Structure 1
Amino acid sequence: MSTHVLLVVTTVVVALAPALARRAHLPAPSVLFLLGCALAVLPSGGQVHLEPEFVLLVLLPVILYWEGYTTSVQHAWRYRRAILLTAVPLVIATAAVVAVTAHALGLSWTAAWILGAVVAPTDASAVAAYSRALPLRLTTILRGESLINDGTALVLLGIAVSAAGGADVSLASASGELAWSYAGGTAVGALVAAAGLLAVRRVRDPLVLAAVSVAEPFAASVLAETVHASGVVAVVVCALGISRAARRAVPAAGRLQVHAFWETTSWLVNGALFVLVGLEARAVFDSPGVDGGRALQLVGQGLLLAAVIVAVRVAWLFLTAWLVRLLDRRPAQRELRVPWRLRVVAAWSGMRGGVSLAAALSVPVSVGETPFPGREAVLVLTFVVVGATLLVQGATLPAVIRWAHAHDSRDEETAALTAAVSTLGRAAEEHLRLHAEHHPGDRAVVEHLRRHLHPSRTGAGEQIHPERLRQLRRSTLARQREVLAAMVRGGGLEDTQLWRLQERLDLDEALLLAEDDLPSPAAGPPAQRTTLGASGVPR
């Protein structure tokens, strides 16, 4: 299958996935993975080879940047302990347990540790795709974990590969490498974020802003890898560091265009990665030394390892929660406690994905002049673990969410957002009332906005000047932005709620700007029909 044909097929499959998922009653990522496996059966499907550098250096920065950008720093800091406990020590514990189990199943210690490092982290794209129905706090914890744990796992993988090549690896050297990967990645990410903020504060062209945002994740990743730090950590720190400030510095039109670009791009990249993982099935099982009997044996072992990974995750989440409650009895900590049913959901949400497979493919084919021990087994076992998590955990996650009543927490968040929208609507009404009192001549304009009617129905023979109408709409929007800022300062809004309300106001402002660019008609009605926007802002 040629590259351009693969590109077209993958794009079509990703576009059709939501409709197919609804008909199959399965999550879209599971459907995409299955479609990728089906494409691998075709005669030309065996020619597809997923380059690990393409995933780790191109696709992964795109996925991590947008997930980090849309993750609330406020929430991430609040749940930092839960995130760090799952992003670093859980990855190490999972890798160790998988290594011991794989060695017991017959793999060498070298191959077993490599396998453990490869399948230990959850996948950012999988978590992003499957966690949309989860409560905000659980989504934040899972996102934060998946954004960071790739860096931990890739460092472990590098250490294991170095040890296989004969390097002298000790606990002190491994700890130092892990520490530098995080410290160096954090420093590089902060540096790129600062440079990006300098750029966006001086640029107003939406196209240039989009170009700057595209350059940021790649600059962070490449610079971090250059100094042998974690590119994953650098991209995440860059995204988190620039998110809040950029949303304030960039004008409304720029925010809308840049966000629309990233939402579409990240959706396509996430979907394409699931398809590409499925497409790799044939290449993995056609590896030398993996005949029919050996393949069946490895599939059984892979399913066992997938069960072990889930068991480790469940045990870790419940054990750490018990220890935290035992050691930290502060009232503030009690507010952060997660009910046991939600912990089950969090444990069941630990899917693996394309990053694990790309990491496995990055294992060198040989060490010196000898083949790398157990590389084919590592590839097959990784693919089975990824497939099992996507198809079993992913397909049943909606049922687990319903069982845990996780939607109840989502309803509470929706109610808070609805209350904020009502506050903005009341602010608009109060602004119109005060404007009518101070500018009696504009009463017709005020009533026009209030009634959301065509000018011909606002009053008998009353004329509304278009410019006065637009001025009042601008001042109403400005008042709503002031109220929104006050709610943020008062702690009444979370970051994600603020962003959603800001986007609604941006849409109304963009409509005003578009009307300003239209030529005034030579004749006809003096004003256009006005409606209320989604945020209650008069249009």
Structure 2
Amino acid sequence: MAERSGGCGRRHAAALHRPDPANRASPNGATPDPAKLGPMLALEVIVAIGLAILVGGLIAARLRVTTPVLLIPLGVLLGFIPAFREIELPPEAVLLLFLPVLLFWESLTTSTREIRRFIRVILLNGTLLVFVTAFGVAIVGTWFGLPWVVALVLGAVLAPTDATAVSELAGSLPRRQRTVLRAESLINDGTALVIYALVVSVAVSGQEITPLEITWTLLVSYVGGIAIGVALGYLGSLAFRIRMPLISNVGLIITPFAAFLIAEVVGSSGVLAVVVCGLVMARIAPRVAGPEARDQAQSFWTVSTYLLNAALFVLIGLEVQVVIRELPPSQLGLGVVFGVVVWIALIVIRAAFVMLSTVVIRLVDRRPYQRTLRSSRRGLVMSSLAGFRGAVSLAAVLAVPTVIASGDAFPNRDLVVFVTTIVIVLTLGVQGPLLPFIIKWARLPADDGIDEERNFAELAASRAAVEAIPGMANELGIEDSVRDKVLAETEHHIEVLEAVASDEPDEEATRQKEQYNRLRLAALELKRETIVNLRDEQRIDDIVLRRIQSQLDLEELRLTGRTEE
């Protein structure tokens, strides 16, 4: 693992050092057999995590609950398997492998327009709220006897909400609230990891850092991360111009890691670099990316990010057992109470900040446009309870060094790790399942803007095509009969869209569209069965089958509307 976190710089390198788990003593004092931690065990862990994801996803769909609610308990159950008792969540994997991928795809697929609309709230929650939370949790930590600097480490660890958890648990939120939460989670990781690295550096070295040094570190972290993100966003967009889809997507995959790496090397925030890079590429990609490359990227990133997200929750469950075994039995009761109090404090701090910042914004900005962005009180309560903590917090706390510069053990490290784990489990296991009920209680307005905008866009595109088809047909030398056929199909599509978009939708047109889709879907199913039979009769090759199936699948997705955002 690179021995730094996002934006911490080289002089904080020691802050994220962690000994090899294979060299750690087991609970009974014996050192684990290195042979047990070899490739075979790694394969067993991969298979076990994969099965947990599969079973958890199936059960979650049947019970209609979010998958993390089941994946964490399944991870705990895996911890009872003797061979898995020494498996831990590697912080370097989260900070250097999982985090760039997940943050990049989140930023690449989020709504930049909604971010601009709510940028003030997002920046406040992604920066100032992080500081307030870190110091608020630190005050609570001192009540339980932690030294101030250690308590501040705990605060920095728990300050950021987790983009992975928000993405999984807040999917049922309306678009506005979901976008704000996602964007906040993308930003606050960078802020929190900078604070974390500074505080851990002080705790390890015992040397104080001046306010000027803190300001300079934050400035370099933010400005450098943003600048590198913009530069890599434009540079990475060159991959979209490659008309070989596989090679184009290789460039896309490399981009977030390159942005993270370059930012870390120069001492800036790798997290911010990845986020800004994704936002820049999201603006450029629609103009330059080819359709096949886009289709491949959507399929690859959808599956890979789902697996990474789910694997993180299973690993969190596995880590629960390890953390419980490492904490002395005499501190278990204290740790549980400590964790519950910190969890409540996080909710209270977030709620107070959200309410207070909303009041201040409304007092300062009374523009009519600003009034349209206001949320109801119940909506504010819901946003206050949607601040989930996850794998980033756990990775950061596991990366806290075991010893300080003097050679002594890091004070209360096991207790800090245990409390962090308790808080994560509570936010995911209690707040997560409660969120759908809170959303229902909040009575938020229906979020049908996406459907309306989609219909508007399709209408505008189709009308532009009708106007341009005659001229394009002449330029391309298209026969009149072919031109008229394409024009008729496009005009019929416009009629259907106009009927749906009207204030009083034409029931007959809507019914005909429904029947049209049903008949087309039935015909597609018959086509599939026919080409499979042709393959079985060895009249066509498997390659031909797959190519035709791919076309039929895309047509079905278009008809049913089952496409990813």
TM-score, normalised via structure 1 length? 0.80
Give the 5 Å matches for 1:179-198: 179-198=219-238
Contact 1:424 1:535 in 2 (8 A): no
Structure 1 gaps of 5+ residues are 451-475, 484-510, 512-517, 521-527
- For 2:409, the equivalent position in structure 1 comes to 371
Give the Å deviation of 1:42.
Answer: 2.2
CA contact (8 A) 1:128 1:143 kept: yes
Q: 1:273 — aligned with what?
A: 312
The residue number in structure 2 matching 1:345 is 382
Give distance in 1, aligned partners of 2:48 and 2:269: 33
Question: Could you tell me which residue of structure 1 aligns to residue 207 of structure 2?
Answer: 167
Corresponding position of 2:14 = none
1:354 to 391, 411, 426: 391
Residue correspondence of structure 1 range 330-479 to structure 2 within 5 A: 330-368=367-405, 369-406=407-444, 408-421=445-458, 441-442=481-482, 445=485, 450=489
Native 8 Å contact 1:17 1:28 kept in 2:
yes
* Distance in 2 separating the partners of 1:536 and 1:59: 32
Q: Distance in 1 between matches of 2:272 and 2:76?
A: 31
How far 1:401 moved relative to its partner? Answer: 1.1
Q: Distance in 1 between matches of 2:153 and 2:410?
A: 11
The superposition leaves residues 167-219 of structure 1 with CA deviations (integer Å, 9 ceiling, x where unpaired) of 23122221221121111111111121121123322x11111111111111110
Amino acid at match of 2:558: A
Distance 1:535 1:359, change over 3 A: same
**Partner letter of residue 86 of structure 1?**
N
Q: Which has the higher mean CA deviation after the structures are superposed, 302-311 or 339-348?
A: 339-348
2:218 maps to 1:178: yes
Aligned positions of 1:230-269 closer than 5 A:
230-269=269-308
Contact 2:103 2:163 in 1 (8 A): yes
Aligned 8 A contact 1:51 1:358 in 2: yes
Structure 1 equivalent of residue 140 of structure 2: 101
2:112 is matched with which residue?
73
Distance 2:81 2:464 in 1: 60
In 1, distance between residues paired with 2:452 and 2:73?
37
Any idea what the Cα deviations from partners look like across 1:90-146, whole Å, max 9, x if unmatched?
Answer: 010001010001111111112100000000100010011112221222111111100
Query: 2: CA distance between counterparts of 1:40 and 1:312?
Result: 33
> Displacement, 1:439?
6.1
Which residue number in structure 2 is paired with residue 5 of structure 1? Answer: 44
AA aligned opposite 2:433: A
Letter in 2 for 1:139: R
**How far off is 1:430 after superposition?**
8.2
Asked if the contact 2:224–2:269 (Cα under 8 Å) also holds between the matched residues in 1, the reply is yes
Distance 1:533 1:266, change over 3 A: closer
The counterpart of 1:292, out of the listed 318, 326, 329, is 329
CA deviations on 1:255-286 (whole Å, 9 max, x unpaired) are 11112111111111111111111111111111
**C-alpha separation between the residues in 1 aligned to 2:206 and 2:470?**
78
State the alpha-carbon separation in 1 of the partners of residues 248 and 480 from structure 2: 42
Contact 1:45 1:282 survives alignment (8 Å): no
Partners of 1:168 and 1:70 lie apart in 2 by 41
Structure 1 CA distance for aligned equivalents of residues 339 and 181 of structure 2: 24
Look up the equivalent residue of 1:195 and give its one-letter code. Answer: L
- Structure 2 partner of 1:455: none
The answer as to whether partners of 1:421 and 1:535 remain within 8 angstroms in 2 is no
Q: 1:187 to 1:45 in 2, by over 3 A?
A: same
Aligned amino acid, residue 303 of structure 2: T
| Structure 2 Cα separation of the partners of residues 102 and 533 of structure 1 | 52
Identity %: 38
AA matched with 2:105: W
Gaps of 5+ in 2: 1-36, 498-523, 525-541, 545-551
* In structure 2, distance between residues paired with 1:328 and 1:441: 60
Does the residue aligned with 1:141 lie in a helix, a strand or coil? helix
SS at match of 1:366: coil
Does the 8 Å CA contact 1:425/1:536 hold for their aligned counterparts? no
Question: Helix, strand or coil for the counterpart of 1:344?
Answer: helix
Equivalent residue in structure 2 for 1:282, among 317, 321, 345: 321
Root-mean-square deviation (CA, aligned residues, Å) is 3.1
Query: TM-score, normalized by length of structure 2?
Result: 0.76
Cα separation, 2, equivalents of 1:421 and 1:536: 16
What is the rounded CA distance, in whole Å, between the counterparts of 1:46 and 1:227 in structure 2? 38
User: Closer, same or farther in 2 for the Cα pair 1:189/1:431, shift >3 Å?
Assistant: closer
Distance 1:352 1:519, change over 3 A: closer
Kept in 1, the 8 Å contact 2:239–2:249? The answer is no
2:558 maps to which of 530, 534, 538:
534
One-letter code aligned to 2:238: L
CA contact (8 A) 2:162 2:392 kept: yes
Say if 2:469 and 2:483, in contact at 8 Å, map to a contact too.
Answer: no
Q: Which residue of 2 aligns with 1:90?
A: 129
CA 1:401–1:429: 2 relative to 1, 3 Å: farther
The one-letter code of the counterpart of 2:156 is: A
Match of 1:458 in 2: none
Counterpart of 1:534 in structure 2: which amino acid?
A: R
Query: In 2 relative to 1, CA 59–532 (structure 1 residues): closer, same or farther, beyond 3 Å?
Result: closer
Q: Deviations over 1:315-374 (max 9, x none)?
A: 111110000000111122112212222212211111000000000001001003110011
Work out whether residues 239 and 252 of structure 2, in 8 Å CA contact, stay in contact via their aligned partners in 1: no
> For 1:36 and 1:519, how far apart are their aligned partners in 2?
40
Cα distance change, pair 519–28 in 1 and its aligned pair in 2 (3 A): closer
- Alpha-carbon distance in structure 2 between the residues aligned to 1:366 and 1:226: 25
Summarize the alignment of residues 43-58 of structure 1 with structure 2, pairs less than 5 Å apart. Answer: 43-58=82-97
